[in-house]
Amino acid sequence: MSKPRLPGDLTPAQVIERMLRVDHAGEYGAKRIYDGQLAVLKTAPAAPTIRHMAEQELKHLAAFNKLLPQRRVRPTILGPLWHAAGFALGAATALLGEKAAMACTEAVEEVIDAHYTKQLETLEAMAAEGKAEPELAQMIEQFRAEEIEHRDTAREAGAAEAPAYPALSQGVKAATRAAIWLSERI
């Protein structure tokens, strides 16, 4: 009987390593996006909403900050890039207005929801092979639920009314997917 294959035929340890590396990078990027948004919109009506989401991202980031050294996983070398690019993305969209900032959040969180869902499927496949990671799975499930909340909050705040919404949304999604791809690998 052939064994179920892990993504790219990585070992279970390599799969977990990639997962932690990319999730840590992503939560750091999320923090920086909200930093950028708040730098521009600190007194705007949307500021408390953005601040609430930013606080949840800080908790997500803190969890991965703790897990990486525990599991001896090296963070991505792209940290400085996400530091700058995340902030720039947040600030640039916020400069287009609150709705554009929300369109950015909606687009990022849509991609992150899909990303965490895929990871949960991988963890399930690993559990079926006797390599269960119940604590990690539970954590990712909780974070995923909060990212979905962020996406919905952004939608309710009028993301779709942003200027050039389709192009903005597609662009942010493509950038987020590229950032994920890179952070898994380097």
Residues that bind Fe ion (CB under 5 A): 27, 30, 57, 60, 147, 150
Q: Where would I find the H helices in 12-97?
A: 12-41, 47-70, 79-95
Nearest distance from residue 59's CB to Fe ion, in Å?
A: 8
Nearest distance from residue 147's CB to Fe ion, in Å?
A: 4
Residue 30 or 91: the one with the smaller Cβ distance to Fe ion is 30
User: Residue holding tokens 């902030």?
Assistant: 87
Q: Specify the amino acid at residue 111.
A: V
User: And the tokens for 103?
Assistant: 């369109």
Residue 10 or 113: the one with the smaller Cβ distance to Fe ion is 113
Instruction: Select the residue whose beta carbon is closest to Fe ion and give its number.
Output: 60
Nearest distance from residue 9's CB to Fe ion, in Å?
A: 29
Nearest distance from residue 95's CB to Fe ion, in Å?
A: 21
Residue 21 or 150: the one with the smaller Cβ distance to Fe ion is 150
Sign of torsion, CA 125 130 134 136?
Answer: negative
Nearest distance from residue 30's CB to Fe ion, in Å?
A: 5
Residue 27 or 98: the one with the smaller Cβ distance to Fe ion is 27
Residue 55 or 129: the one with the smaller Cβ distance to Fe ion is 55
DSSP string, 99-168: HHHHHHHHHHHHHHHHHHHHHHHHHHHHHHTT---HHHHHHHHHHHHHHHHHHHHHHHTTGGGSTTHHHH
